[in-house]
Amino acid sequence: MDNKKRLASTCVKRAKAKNVRAGASSAYVKRLKAALVKKEIHSNTIQQKNHNEISKVKPKQKGLADDARERLESARFRYLNEKLYTTSSSEAWNFFQEDPESFGVYHKGFKNQVLKWPVNPLDIIISDILKGPKHWVVADFGCGEAQMAHTIPNQVHSFDLVAANDKVTACDMASVPLAMKAVDVAVFCLSLMGSNIHDFLKEANRVLRIGGLLYVAEVESRCKNIQEFLKNIERFGFQLKENSLQKYFFLAKFNKIQNMSPKATLPRLYLKPCLYKKR
């Protein structure tokens, strides 16, 4: 309906509502129309004025307070990151038990870092798992916000030090609440943190069935010698199947070939911490 018609119909409705006589009604309708047109013009003028005022306002500039907050968050992220890389998993567990809110700060910083990468290793792992059967059960060790569980149709057990959402089971992944040989796939995507990564690999061997898949994605610069590191992982009962080097990270895929006894003497693996620069 155009403006004129809308006005006329409004006038008629108002006139009817007033229950005026036919003769008086037309005069009343005229006055009403004039008043409404004036009101409309006035309101258009106000709207235009408001619009002009709004468009004069410059986009909000980043203030000193925002800048200071970002610096603080970034410093806190770097502190937490270093802590996770340099302490044992039980210390990291105790730390987040006392201060679970830090987890959000850590993950905000982590996401900012990975967003700068051309490819996220988790996306590659997800697309590879999607090629396998849907009935395969997956254990996502150090799942963060459980993106894997939110993305794939498979049953996924998502473990992390803090449960960021209801898909996540909070635990130290050196000991996860799963039976032996309970899963077909185990994933460590950028999560081999802490000074006891050998405990995590032992745990992956325990929960994987023979023939099951193990994915390990890690920051390339953490490793002195990637081939040697992958050879050492094989000593935990795995056989290397595929290995690729991408910008910033390597991604390896293994098959579990052997059950390891809990008493087996296995090498203590070492990866350098991945320390991010100050912004």
> Residue 214 interacts with ligand SAH (CB under 6 A)?
no
Query: Segment 101-140, which members bind ligand SAH (CB under 6 A)?
Result: 110, 122
- From candidates 168, 183, 190, 274, binder to ligand SAH by CB under 6 A: 190
CB atoms under 10 Å from CB of 68, counted, come to 10
Q: State the DSSP code for 222.
A: G
> Residue 194 interacts with ligand SAH (CB under 6 A)?
yes
Of 32 and 160, which has the nearer Cβ to ligand SAH? 160
Of 142 and 212, which has the nearer Cβ to ligand SAH? 142
* Token code pair at residue 179: 């039976």
Q: Cβ 133 to ligand SAH, closest distance in Å?
A: 22
Concatenating the DSSP letter of every residue in 2-21 gives: -HHHHHHHHHHHHHHHHT--
User: Of the ranges 54-62, 70-78, 191-199, 248-256, which one interacts with ligand SAH (CB under 6 A)?
Assistant: 191-199
Contact string 140-159 vs ligand SAH (x = CB under 6 A) = --xxx--x-----------x
Q: Contact, 155 vs 137, CB < 8 A?
A: yes
Task: Measure the N-to-C terminal CA separation of the chain; round to a whole number of Å.
Answer: 56
Residue (of 119, 163, 127) closest to 142 by Cα position: 163
Of 11 and 161, which has the nearer Cβ to ligand SAH? 161
> Residue 173 interacts with ligand SAH (CB under 6 A)?
yes
Q: Contact, 217 vs 121, CB < 8 A?
A: yes
Residue at shortest CB range from ligand SAH: 142
How many residues appear in the chain?
279
User: Of the ranges 53-61, 189-197, 202-210, 258-266, which one interacts with ligand SAH (CB under 6 A)?
Assistant: 189-197
Concatenating the DSSP letter of every residue in 12-75 gives: HHHHHHHT--HHHHHHHHHHHHHHHHHHHHHHHHHHHHHHHHHHHSPPPPP-HHHHHHHHHHHH
Contact string 44-83 vs ligand SAH (x = CB under 6 A) = ----------------------------------------
Of 88 and 232, which has the nearer Cβ to ligand SAH? 88
> Residue 189 interacts with ligand SAH (CB under 6 A)?
yes
Of 32 and 122, which has the nearer Cβ to ligand SAH? 122
Helices (H), the chain: 3-18, 22-56, 64-86, 89-98, 102-115, 121-129, 147-151, 197-207, 226-234
- From candidates 11, 139, 152, 161, binder to ligand SAH by CB under 6 A: 161
Which residues sit at the interface with ligand SAH, rule CB under 6 A? 84, 89, 92, 110, 122, 142-144, 147, 159-161, 172-174, 189-191, 193-194
